Amino acid sequence: MITTYQKFYRETVVPQLMKEFQYDNIMQVPKITKITVNMGLGEAVTDKKIIGNGKEDLAKIVGQQAITTLARKSIAGFKIREEWPLGCKVTLRRNRMYEFLERLICIAIYNSDTIINYKSI
């Protein structure tokens, strides 16, 4: 199933980019390959349940299960040890990526933009 943004990109954006930048081959045209959504949960150092709640929230937003990210090295000032869970992330590709991008632009960014414009009036 092709999303409207994917269809718009293929039918409108690609020909315009090929014409504007004089690309010889369609494979030279830049494209989005993946979207990575991450959530840093610094409070998870004191309470381990926060990681589970954060993963659930991210999965609801994105529609795909999140993985836990771990600390790469110990930082004494932040009371963090190596390999401790600190956040979660999701990588989206292909159809799910375009579906998320469409929902993000049409719903989240559009609504926040109108709220900002109305507050400034």
Report pTM.
0.68
Confidence bin at 72 (pLDDT 50/70/90) = confident
More confident of the two residues 118 and 88: 88
Question: Token digits for 111?
Answer: 């609504």
- Taking residues 76-98, report their average pLDDT: 79
Domain range 33-109, CATH architecture: 2-Layer Sandwich (3.30)
Residue 74: the pLDDT is: 74
At residue 82, φ and ψ (nearest 5 deg) are -60, 140
More confident of the two residues 50 and 10: 10
36 close to 90: Cβ distance less than 8 angstroms: yes
Confidence bin at 14 (pLDDT 50/70/90) = very high
**What is the location of CATH 3.30.1440.10 in the chain?**
33-109
Dist CA 58 CA 69 (whole Å): 13
Task: Provide the 3-class DSSP secondary structure of residue 67.
Answer: strand
- Residue 37: CB partners within 8 Å, gap ≥ 6? 58, 61, 62, 89, 90, 92, 100
- Taking residues 29-42, report their average pLDDT: 86
69 close to 86: Cβ distance less than 8 angstroms: yes
Residue 76 has a CB neighbour count (10 Å cut-off) of 7
Question: Token digits for 114?
Answer: 């109108």
Average pLDDT, rounded, for the chain: 80
96 close to 64: Cβ distance less than 8 angstroms: yes
Confidence bin at 73 (pLDDT 50/70/90) = confident
